[in-house]
Amino acid sequence: MRRETERETGNGTRETWFRRAAQAVRRIVGAPDYDAYLDHCARVGHPPRLTEKEYVAQFFEAKGKGVRCC
């Protein structure tokens, strides 16, 4: 079985290009990405257990434990 590392975006329309760019920027700065979570839930096959608000709150809490370098 072949799976993509990023979300499946076959068609190169302007909208998908923009979404992918926005997702890349979010990942680089370490911003929450609820779409990635929904994607993950769909792939594993369970309904999302967190609302967007809960997801964002948990994400920030986890981010606060990360290290920034000098």
SS3 37: helix
For position 29 contacting another protein by CB under 8 A, the verdict is yes
What amino acid occupies position 59?
A: F
- Give least dist CB 59 to another protein, A: 6
For position 45 contacting another protein by CB under 8 A, the verdict is no
- 9, 16 contact by CB (below 8 A): yes
For position 14 contacting another protein by CB under 8 A, the verdict is no
For position 18 contacting another protein by CB under 8 A, the verdict is no
Binding stretches for another protein (CB under 8 A): 1-3, 5-6, 22, 24-34, 36-41, 43, 52-53, 55-70
